[in-house]
Copies of this chain bind each other. A is one copy, B any other.
Amino acid sequence: MTTQAIKTGTSARLAARSNTLPPIINLSQIAPGHIHAHILILPSPYTADFRLLCARNPVALPLLAESTKPGIFDAVKSRVAWLEDDEVLLRQHVDLRRDVGGFTVWRDGEVFTDGQGMEDVVSEWKDDHVAFVIASEGSIEAALRQAGLLEGRIPHPPMYRTRKPLFPSGTFYDCEMVVSMRSFSAAETGQVRQVTAPFALAHGEPIDWGWGAVGRLGIRDIDMPEWGERPVTRNGRALGEVAWKDDEVPVFWGSGVTAQEAVAKMELPGTVMANAVGEYLVLDCKDEDVARVS
């Protein structure tokens, strides 16, 4: 199947289920305009704390939905008042164990999978697993592209661990935020903030920007992201080479990868699963659905 043939959330999920999803260069190629979401699957003892972790840290963890009850993998309940469960969010055909291009699996806190991960987690899914659906940065990237601010940029933005603590929630404490980065000219940062701000349910506006942000966030090395590609300037240089010298500055957003880092750090007993980095659950709702507050 080609990317051009995948125009809806349902068709993207069915392609993932049948392992016919083509390699994705950027999120806007698959089911354009639809929300691409992270998925995190936890044993039920940790779900109440994780739900509150999302509520307390919505910039990193914008929770859109969760499975209706432990063990259920084919129905979700919206956590957003105006996204109705069956009509808008996931119109039909969902299998949370199979509808993502690749899964990462942890067992008792150890990663069990490598690279693109497992094609499905049917064999791992237990009766007490609960799945959480968290918005990705696809919607803000689409908005930046439409505004002409992301032309020619790298497809997999660099992501970094930070020393910015999450607000704790029960089991989940001493966790830190993961951020993604895209660079812009300093003069563009105002427009970048304005264009992304409305998408408050999908990370929204940047959390910090400019070279000072690197230190404030506690990022180790701008040229050594923990995930994604190394950042390059418009002129093809390593971004770190122009630090404080050029007009180009890093701009940081909260990233849903924060969820995986939190569960990995907590070394939860049992089996935890998540979308592999760069793979997503595609929903039937649209980018504009996460661009309102009430």
Interface residues in chain A, defined as those with a beta carbon under 8 Å from any beta carbon in chain B: 51-52, 55-56, 58-59, 79, 81, 165, 167-170, 193-194, 197, 200, 204-208, 216, 254, 293-294
Smallest Cβ-Cβ distance to A194: which chain B residue: B170
Contact A205–B169 (Cβ < 8 Å)? yes
Q: Are the C-beta atoms of A55 and B58 separated by less than 8 Å? A: yes
B200, A56: Cβ atoms closer than 8 Å: yes
Q: Judging by beta carbons under 8 Å apart, are A59 and B56 in contact? A: yes
Residues of the B chain whose Cβ atoms lie less than 8 Å from the Cβ of A56: 58-59, 200, 204
A194 to B171, CA, bound (A): 10
- Between A and B, 19 residue pairs with Cβ closer than 8 Å are A52-B197, A52-B200, A52-B204, A52-B293, A56-B204, A58-B58, A59-B167, A79-B294, A81-B81, A165-B216, A167-B254, A168-B205, A168-B207, A169-B197, A169-B204, A169-B205, A170-B193, A170-B194, A170-B197
A120 shortest CB reach to chain B, Å: 29
Within the assembled complex, what's the spacing in Å between the Cα atoms of A1 and B55?
40
Shortest Cβ distance from A130 into chain B, in angstroms? 14
